[in-house]
Structure 1
């Protein structure tokens, strides 16, 4: 049976091209314009490697190859060009041996839920029901932010919650598997059983530093509930989703039975479906959105057009500008801000159990894209597809990084073999195989790493580096993992 499953999976990866949906740029026709067809073919046939080694010829992979290598059964893409949803297309299958992915297939958005819920919070600010800079405890009634010895007398604000500067604990949430108890929101906030997270509490003075916190967005969820006196999914439907045309999206958790036939099945790293299917996330503001790339593209378009004062269905231009103004950590009110001062873009990634996605939109030139996958590790594929889109549409960003590799003696490489603990549930394991140093992260595939100095190595499959720190005797005690401007330390076990 397992052998047969592998054959079915191979067919799914090789037979990936499902019919595209063409949007606002070319209404009333399914004919593919020559330039558009060329761009889609370019993306499908040549995904650039995230890292290029200096002196080596550039290489690329087909989308089918990368899906098979990374064990991603399905992927859905929507591309915005010149301020319109130009095309959307599904690749692969919603479950191995099942129906093909279409532009209407639903995925869990993971943390891409945050910028959509942030827009709802800002809508309440616009209505005068919330303030960006008042103590959230002045509005919270069902639950209050407890006093904290780490921040005596401190008051957290909505602005700080949205920018990840409020100082709250809990980075993210694993969700709840099928047939397991699901906690109330207050139980999540207090870390009480059956919640599977630590209590959400202040661990630093609000406003003093940037630290990503899904916990802070869960406090924001309770704030919206207390301010609006409405169920969260209903509030988001009426204030954001319907007004901007996200008609295939919902914050209902779990997904209603009537929509399950439209949803992709989540997978782990080796073609194994997540037991029981999609997890349930009571932390709806942080991780609870079900949606499609096309619907998220409509969110991108709304932000772009609201900034210009052309389509302010949810926010006025002033609040939209505040949303996109970077502060600590290059974060605005719900979105990460990148690019150059003249061509900034906003973005957010998303990871739920078995779903990984990426959203990007440029503020001024009407460009953007959304990529969603239904497998753990699919974020790497989403990033590579985004680079392929960037190349096809001549974006100024998301280009491969060029690095220089050197040769090291096997005896040097052998010093780095071992397991390094970066978080309670995340480690990097380094092995030496046929003279090649290999790295494997928790619940992920194994990949080679290449030296750029005696102590610093890089991956080709992702733009990240690992730095080893030996003591005076040459024994490595810890590593620092560098990615996306963040540095995470891991101690050798």
Structure 2
């Protein structure tokens, strides 16, 4: 008994050290979580505005539920959920709650398509009609004799129509994929057709991604959701995710309910997307983090659960410009590159980033049409974890505009024949309200120029030689001269 005492003592000491290290690591994780929760910043931060609290920003934006995953050194550092998945039933969001990933679906779809390329069932650079058997793309004069290839479809360089899809209320008739592509009832979107010749520039097209969905089923002879589950999701460890519309056999409350910007529930709780490849994935941040990590490891040749290094590098290489790769967009910050994608379905917003080096990343999903909080959280995570380039916060010092000038700006401005922009103020805070829309705050960049935080736009008031305001120049993706009424 005495001889075994040193061994027992050594084991006890080892366990105590192990537990201490684990407790210390957990403490550090909790500290990082707390820092992230309290360091949210807007992209445009005015004057001496400081960091903000996550819970308060959720209340501000009327976001019911939110879920986060952070990746550090090729591992999930933490996953945490906030708020409610369904406000009426008061079902809380958990790390298992599934959200609609919306256009993030395109990233996973591309993995499935690249799996067919890797197994030599598909040539990325051949005419897509070579692999379409149940339907053929109807080339016309707009394509100018050029053929569309699969790489074009995945990188949005095919010159095709239909940016995105609105989905369908539960219980309403659902179109087939061919009906969607032809724009025939009950499809609620237009036909997917050429708008310019393929291969000359990028134009985002969920319609083009839907063609790849049909290619997958025509080649594999399987239902799309089964192929994606067996060949992509399960091998990556995304065991809670599905492309099924609607998911069956799940526990009550596992699917998040979608809400509009005012916090009102989407009719039927969520929309159904037979356009599975561009919009149909149900998932959560933990599962998407597993996809990101596997992609990072495969890119470095350290894993090949679905795609090998060569195929992964091809998928993450921009095809015709500096950003659009195959199912992902690449952002380059002085040589530090990230792959990622955002998502927007009715009642849902989401976004993810994964670094091409170092094994870092993040995923954020909300069950709201208001996605402003996502970038604020990205800014916070980037600050706490030093993810260079991802913090988009820009500090702007507001101009001090005189009461006389502010009063001269008040009134109505004719943006279009049917759209009037009304300028009002409360104290020194200026507001703009377009016909039939909510009013939004405007902030003074100069004594005559104002910008908005909630939309990417600005307005500048123009005076005549007598100092009277005669018009406004409004910039939002284009310049409009609006006469003062």
1:39-50 counterparts in 2 under 5 A?
39-50=32-43
- Tell me if structure 1 keeps the 8 A contact 2:340–2:352: yes
| Distance (Å, rounded) in 1 between the aligned partners of 2:54 and 2:147 | 48
Corresponding residue for 1:14?
Answer: none
Aligned partner of 1:71 in structure 2 is 62
Task: Tell me by how many angstroms 1:143 deviates.
Answer: 1.4
Partner of 1:361: 354
Q: Between Structure 1 and Structure 2, whose CA radius of gyration is higher?
A: 2
What SS does the aligned partner of 2:85 have? coil
Which of the residues 330, 337, 352 maps onto 1:337? 330
In structure 1, how many angstroms separate the alpha carbons of the residues matched to 2:159 and 2:434? 28
1:267 counterpart SS class: coil
Contact 2:412 2:421 in 1 (8 A): no
CA distance in 2, matches of 1:155, 1:82: 42
Residue in 2 that maps onto 1:107: 99
1:241 to 233, 240, 245: 233
* Distance in 1 of aligned mates of 2:309 and 2:212: 23
What is the TM-score normalised by the length of structure 1? Answer: 0.84
Q: Distance in 2 between matches of 1:163 and 1:450?
A: 37
* 1:221 lines up with 2:217 in the alignment: no
What's the CA shift for 1:450? 2.1
Cα contact 1:418–1:431 (8 A) shared by 2: no
**In the alignment, which of 465, 468, 472 is matched to residue 457 of structure 2?**
465
Superposed CA offset, 1:404-445 (max 9, x none): 4435523664477466699xxxx9966423354435699986
- Deviation digits for residues 54-89 of structure 1 (CA, Å, limit 9, x no counterpart): xx2141221111111111111001110111011101
Separation of aligned partners in 1, 2:140 and 2:461? 35
| 1:195 alignment partner, SS class | coil
The answer to whether the aligner puts 1:410 opposite 2:403 as a matched pair is no
Residues 452/147 of structure 1: CA separation in 2 closer, same or farther (3 Å cut)? same
Alignment correspondent of 2:374: 382
Contact 1:83 1:301 in 2 (8 A): yes
1:143 matches 2:139:
no
1:324 correspondence with 2:327 = no
Q: Does 1:287 align with 2:283?
A: no
Cα distance in 1 between the residues matched to 2:55 and 2:322? 35
Following the alignment from structure 2 to structure 1, what is the Cα–Cα distance between the partners of residues 432 and 134? 46
Q: How does 1:164-243 map to 2 (within 5 A)?
A: 164-243=156-235
Q: Please state how far the C-alpha of 1:154 moved relative to its aligned partner.
A: 2.3
When the two structures are aligned, how many residues end up with a matched partner? 453
1:46 match: secondary structure: coil
5+ residue gaps, structure 1, are 1-25, 482-486
Find the counterpart in structure 2 of residue 5 from structure 1.
none
Separation in 2, partners of 1:131, 1:440: 52
Is 1:273 aligned to 2:269, yes or no?
Answer: no
Inter-CA distance 420–110: structure 2 relative to 1 (3 Å threshold): farther
RMSD: 3.0
Whole-angstrom CA distance in 2 between matches of 1:263 and 1:242: 19
Residue in structure 2 matched with residue 22 of structure 1 by the alignment: none
Q: TM-score, normalised by structure 2?
A: 0.86
Trace 1:3-152 onto structure 2 (pairs within 5 A). Answer: 33-53=26-46, 56-96=47-87, 97-152=89-144
Contact map agreement 2:342 2:350 (CA 8 A) in 1: yes
Partners in 2 of 1:430 and 1:236 — Cα distance? 50
User: 2: distance between equivalents of 1:192 and 1:227?
Assistant: 24
Kept in 1: contact 2:412–2:420 (CA 8 A) = no
- Verify: 1:264 aligned to 2:256, yes or no: yes
- Relative to 1, partners in 2 of residues 1:227 and 1:41: Cα closer, same or farther, differing over 3 Å? same
Rounded to whole Å, the distance in 1 between the matches of 2:135 and 2:149 is 15
Deviations 1:6-40 (A, max 9, x none): xxxxxxxxxxxxxxxxxxxx9x9788623211111
Q: Which ranges of structure 2 fall in alignment gaps of 5 or more residues?
A: 1-18
The answer on whether the counterparts of 2:411 and 2:422 sit within 8 Å (CA) in structure 1 is no
User: Which residue number corresponds to residue 14 of structure 2?
Assistant: none
Please state how far the C-alpha of 1:100 moved relative to its aligned partner. Answer: 1.4
Give me the whole-angstrom Cα distance separating, in 1, the residues matched to 2:329 and 2:459: 26
SS of the residue corresponding to residue 133 of structure 1 reads coil
**SS of alignment partner, residue 237 of structure 2:** coil
**Counterparts in 2 of 1:277 and 1:257: CA distance versus 1, 3 Å:** farther
